[in-house]
Amino acid sequence: VGLLEDLEARRAALDVAAAAARVTVPWLIVHGESDTTVELHEAELLARAAPDARLRIVADAGHTYEVGHPFGGPTPQLGEALAAVCLEPLRAVLQVGDAKNLRRTLLLTAQLAELGLPMVLALNMHDEARAKGVHVDAALVSELTGVSTQLTVATRGEGVDELPALLAAAQPSAL
In order along its 175 residues, the chain shows pLDDT tens digits of 666 776 677 666 667 777 777 777 778 888 888 888 888 888 898 888 888 888 888 888 877 777 766 566 777 887 888 777 777 777 788 899 999 989 888 988 988 888 888 999 999 999 999 999 999 999 999 999 999 999 998 878 888 888 888 888 899 998 7
Q: What does the angle CA 51 – CA 35 – CA 11 come to, to the nearest 5 degrees?
A: 55
pLDDT of residue 141: 94
Distances (CA, A) of 132 to 2, 40, 100, 128: 21, 27, 8, 6
d(CA 77, CA 54): 18
Comparing CA positions, the residue from 115, 107, 108 lying closest to residue 90 is 115
Q: Which residues is 56 bridged to in the sheet? A: 30
What whole-number distance in Å separates Cα of residue 171 and Cα of residue 155? Answer: 27
- Amino acid in position 124: N
